C-alpha cells in the first residue's frame, strides 16, 4: 500500500468552466468538510481512466481545502489475474473463482489494510480489487463507500454473491448508471457520472499543425482520413471488431487509415495477451496502426490523434462509462459508440453522434459521416456542448463533496 504524491492544481484555473452557482456550492461544501480526512483507494496509479481522474479530482479538491488522499494497493500477478476475472464476471462473463483464488484475494486485501497507518473520516474503495479491505480496517475509517466504475447490469451470479459478502460493510455505493446498481440489487445507490478535465494534457487545446506533426511521427498521414479508437486492449472494447469494420470501410474509401491506441495497466494482466491477439488480427497493413504507451504514446499524443481523427470510435460491447467519448466530443469530433453502458449517457443517437450494436451498423454510420462533412461538424459542435454542460471535472468534484457532506453532517448531528 502506498500513497500517490500529487502535483498542485488550483480550482482558480477553472474559472471559465464554472458557473457562479457552482463556485458558491464548492466553497460552501469545502467549509462543511473542513477538518475531515478522506481517502480514495484503488489498484493502480496509471494506465486506466480511474487513475487518470484522480490526478485531477484530488489536487483540485485539495485546493478547495478538502483533505483528500489517494492510496494504491499492492498485489501480485495471481491477485490481479483473479480480480480481472472477477471484473469480467461482474460484467456478465461466465466463469467461477476457486476457493484458493478467493482466499488469496481476501488475504491481499488484509495485508494492504494492515498497512494503512492513518485514520480517515471516509474511505472510498474503488472497484472490486480492494473491496474486501473494510473487513480489516476496523476503526481506521468512520464511513466506507464503494465506488463501482464497471457495468454490473447483468453480473455473473457467483461474482454477485462474492460482492454481496462485502456490500454490508459499506454505507453508500456509487455507480455511473442506475442500471448498474439494479443488477446487483442495490436499492438506493448514489449515481455520479465520471468526467473529463479540460485542462489536462489530454484535453487542453493544441493547434491543428501541432497535432498533425505529432500524428505524423508515428507514420500516420494526418492529411488522409482516419478512424481512431482510444481504449485498453480488452475484449469488451472490441478492437478486433473495429479492425473488421475498418476493413469493410476501406473497400469504399481506399485512403482510410485506422489507429488503435491503448495503454498497458499494471492491474490488467489479460491486457498483454489481448494486445498480442489484436496484433495478430491486424496482420500486415501499412494503414493500420496499433500504438500504446510502449511506443511513447501518452496523453499529449492521444490529444493529437483525437483532434486529427475523421471519426472517433468507442465500439465497446460493455462499458462502465467510456470517457474517451467525452474526450472526443470535447474536441468537436464525430463519434460513434457502442450502444451500451455510460456511452448512452454521453451520445444522443443522431443528435451528437451515433450509437451502434453491431459491425454492420458501424460500417454504415462511418460511411454516412465520411460522405457528410456538415453532419460531422454538427455532431462535433453539439457534442462539445454536451460535455461542457454535463461531463466536466468541476461537476464531478461537486457531486463527490455533496455526498461526503451528506454523510458527515448527518453523522455529526
Given this model, what pLDDT does residue 9 score?
82
Q: Is 119 exposed, middle or buried (0-12, 13-18, 19+ CB in 10 A)?
A: middle
Comparing 59 with 47, the larger pLDDT belongs to 59
Beta bridge partners of 71: 3, 41
- Kindly report, residue by residue over 229-274, the tens digit of the pLDDT: 999 899 999 999 999 999 999 999 999 999 999 977 655 667 788 9
CA–CA dist 268, 251 (Å, integer): 35
- Kindly report, residue by residue over 353-401, the tens digit of the pLDDT: 999 999 999 999 999 999 999 999 999 999 999 999 999 999 999 999 9
Q: Enumerate residues 6+ apart whose C-beta is below 8 A from 391.
A: 193, 194, 195, 196, 323, 326, 346
- What share of the chain has pLDDT > 70, as a percent? 98
Given this model, what pLDDT does residue 294 score?
85
CA–CA dist 328, 305 (Å, integer): 10
3-state secondary structure of 337: strand
- Kindly report, residue by residue over 320-363, the tens digit of the pLDDT: 999 999 999 999 999 999 999 999 999 999 999 999 999 999 99
CA dihedral 328, 330, 333, 334 (to 10 degrees): 80
What distance lies between CA 137 and its chain's CA centroid?
A: 27
Hey, what domains does the chain have and what are their CATH numbers?
A: 2-195+392-412 (3.40.50.2000), 208-390 (3.40.50.2000)
DSSP 349: B
Given this model, what pLDDT does residue 263 score?
79
Q: Give me the chain's average pLDDT, please.
A: 95
Given this model, what pLDDT does residue 46 score?
78
Given this model, what pLDDT does residue 271 score?
79
- Kindly report, residue by residue over 159-178, the tens digit of the pLDDT: 999 999 999 999 999 999 99
Given this model, what pLDDT does residue 413 score?
36
Given this model, what pLDDT does residue 48 score?
74
Instruction: Give buried/exposed letters for 29-42 (b at 16+ CB in 10 A, else e).
Output: bbebbeebbbbbbb
Using an 8 Å Cβ cutoff, are 145 and 119 in contact? no
Report pTM: 0.92
120 pLDDT more than 90? yes
CA–CA dist 216, 212 (Å, integer): 6
The percent helix, strand, coil of the chain (3-state, each to 5) is 50, 15, 35
The cell numbers describing 242, all together, are 473495429
Given this model, what pLDDT does residue 265 score?
64
Amino acid at each position: 500500500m502506498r500513497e500517490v504524491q500529487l502535483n498542485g492544481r488550483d480550482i482558480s484555473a477553472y474559472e471559465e468552466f464554472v458557473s457562479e452557482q457552482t463556485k458558491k456550492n464548492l466553497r460552501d461544501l469545502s467549509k462543511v468538510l473542513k477538518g475531515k480526512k478522506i481517502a480514495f483507494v484503488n489498484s493502480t496509479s496509471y494506465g486506466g481512466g480511474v487513475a487518470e481522474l484522480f490526478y485531477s479530482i484530488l489536487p483540485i479538491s485539495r485546493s478547495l481545502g478538502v483533505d483528500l488522499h489517494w492510496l494504491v494497493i499492492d498485489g501480485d500477478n495471481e491477485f490481479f489475474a483473479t480480480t480481472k476475472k472477477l471484473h469480467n464476471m461482474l460484467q456478465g462473463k461466465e466463469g467461477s473463482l476457486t476457493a484458493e483464488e478467493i482466499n488469496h484475494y481476501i488475504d491481499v486485501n488484509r495485508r494492504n489494510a494492515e498497512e494503512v497507518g492513518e485514520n480517515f473520516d471516509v474511505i472510498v474503495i474503488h472497484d472490486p480489487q480492494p473491496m474486501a479491505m473494510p473487513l480489516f480496517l476496523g476503526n481506521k475509517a468512520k464511513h466506507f463507500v464503494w465506488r463501482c466504475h464497471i457495468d454490473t447490469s447483468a453480473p455473473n451470479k457467483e461474482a454477485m454473491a462474492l460482492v454481496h459478502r462485502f456490500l454490508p460493510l459499506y454505507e453508500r455505493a456509487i455507480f455511473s448508471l442506475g442500471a448498474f446498481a439494479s443488477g446487483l440489487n442495490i436499492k438506493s445507490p448514489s449515481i455520479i457520472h465520471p468526467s473529463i478535465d479540460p485542462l489536462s494534457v489530454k484535453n487542453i487545446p493544441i493547434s491543428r499543425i501541432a497535432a498533425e506533426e505529432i500524428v505524423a511521427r508515428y507514420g500516420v498521414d494526418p492529411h488522409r482520413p482516419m478512424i481512431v479508437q482510444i481504449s485498453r486492449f480488452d475484449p469488451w472494447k472490441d478492437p478486433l471488431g473495429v479492425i473488421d469494420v475498418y476493413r469493410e470501410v476501406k473497400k469504399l474509401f481506399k485512403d482510410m487509415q485506422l489507429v488503435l491506441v491503448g495503454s498497458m495497466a499494471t492491474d490488467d494482466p489479460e491486457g498483454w495477451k489481448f494486445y498480442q491477439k489484436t496484433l495478430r488480427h491486424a496482420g500486415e497493413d501499412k494503414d493500420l496502426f496499433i500504438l500504446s504507451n510502449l511506443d511513447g504514446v501518452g496523453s499529449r499524443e492521444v490529444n493529437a490523434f483525437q483532434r486529427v481523427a475523421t471519426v472517433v470510435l468507442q465500439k465497446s460491447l460493455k462499458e462502465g462509462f467510456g470517457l474517451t467519448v467525452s474526450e472526443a466530443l470535447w474536441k468537436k469530433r464525430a463519434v460513434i459508440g457502442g450502444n451500451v453502458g455510460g456511452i448512452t449517457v454521453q451520445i444522443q443517437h443522431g443528435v451528437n453522434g451515433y450509437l451502434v450494436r453491431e459491425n454492420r451498423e458501424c460500417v454504415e454510420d462511418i460511411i454516412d459521416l465520411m460522405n457528410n462533412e456538415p453532419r460531422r461538424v454538427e455532431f462535433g459542435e453539439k457534442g462539445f456542448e454536451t460535455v461542457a454542460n454535463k461531463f466536466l471535472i468541476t461537476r464531478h468534484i461537486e457531486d463527490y463533496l455533496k455526498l461526503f457532506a451528506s454523510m458527515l453532517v448527518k453523522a455529526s448531528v
